[in-house]
């Protein structure tokens, strides 16, 4: 790599209650795979590299525990991260309550006026079991909190790429990287026809 080649490193952290699909979203993005069986995560760090327009981007993705048994580790993850994905499941209202608590903790730890946060309502494939209204969450997240919001399905690969695209933009990567998604050295899953286009006017995507 020449000395003139630019390098950018960003750290993203996924947080949320146990079983909401944090690991599933990450694995869908990294490997385009889905494991239906839930397994408990303590803390895992994934690392990927992109190269766009002469800029080498290293993305560190922290997958945190949903059991919150390790508050010291969680605080350290918050302190060292650039952008946050707060994930809840649309069939679990209590997981949305966890997102609210985690947001308060992030703002307290970071002590910054603006903290990049994307709220993700996962498991929209469970249409019959939905118990959280997208309209209510959108109102709270976009209007009251001033954060980005989208809904996803790791199982059906809906809005997973868009979630990472939004996180990277929130982390203030060079403008040349957006709004088009960065192209990985591995193959990025093709855009599904069922996905709506990214609406950057309000940075919200719901299905």
Per-residue pLDDT, averaged over 69-86, amounts to 85
Q: Which of 11-15, 165-169, 185-189 is least confident?
A: 185-189
Domain range summary for the chain, segments of one domain joined by + = 6-205
Question: Is 112 or 59 the better-scoring residue by pLDDT?
Answer: 59
Instruction: Give me the phi and psi of 40, to 5 degrees please.
Output: -70, 135
pLDDT band, very low/low/confident/very high, at 4 (cuts 50, 70, 90): low
Mean pLDDT of the chain: 81
**Percent of all residues in the chain with a pLDDT value above 90, rounded to a whole number:** 56
**Could you say which DSSP state residue 141 is in?**
I
CB-based contacts of 183: which residues, under 8 Å, 6+ apart? Answer: 50, 52
| pLDDT of the residue at 94 | 97
Per-residue pLDDT, averaged over 102-112, amounts to 92
Question: Is 27 or 3 the better-scoring residue by pLDDT?
Answer: 27
- The beta-strand segments (E) located in 21-154 are 43-52, 55-64, 83-89, 117-122, 148-151
pTM: 0.80
| pLDDT of the residue at 42 | 64
Query: Which tens digits make up the pLDDT trace of 119-153?
Result: 999 999 999 999 999 999 999 999 999 999 999 99
| pLDDT of the residue at 200 | 38
Question: Is 58 or 43 the better-scoring residue by pLDDT?
Answer: 58
Query: Which tens digits make up the pLDDT trace of 165-185?
Result: 999 888 876 544 443 333 333
Per-residue pLDDT, averaged over 58-85, amounts to 84
Domain 6-205 has CATH 3.40.50.300: yes
């Amino acid at each position: 790599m020449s000395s003139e080649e630019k390098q950018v490193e960003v750290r993203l952290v996924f947080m949320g209650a146990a079983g909401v699909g944090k690991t599933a979203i990450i694995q869908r993005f990294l490997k385009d795979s889905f494991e239906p069986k839930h397994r408990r995560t303590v803390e895992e760090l994934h690392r990927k590299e992109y190269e766009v327009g002469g800029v080498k981007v290293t993305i560190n993705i922290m997958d945190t525990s949903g059991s919150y048994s390790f508050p010291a580790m969680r605080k350290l993850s918050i302190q060292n991260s650039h952008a946050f994905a707060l994930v809840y499941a649309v069939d679990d209202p209590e997981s949305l309550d966890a997102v609210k608590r985690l947001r308060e903790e992030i703002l307290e730890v970071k002590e910054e006026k603006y903290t990049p946060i994307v709220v993700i309502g996962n498991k929209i494939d469970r249409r019959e079991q939905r118990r959280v209204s997208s309209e209510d969450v959108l109102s709270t997240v976009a209007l009251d909190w001033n954060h980005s919001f989208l809904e996803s399905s790791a199982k059906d690969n809906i809005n997973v790429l868009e979630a990472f695209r939004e996180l990277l933009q929130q982390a203030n990567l060079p403008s040349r990287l957006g709004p088009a998604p960065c192209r990985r050295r591995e193959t990025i899953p093709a855009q599904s026809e069922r996905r709506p286009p990214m609406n950057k006017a309000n940075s919200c995507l719901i299905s």
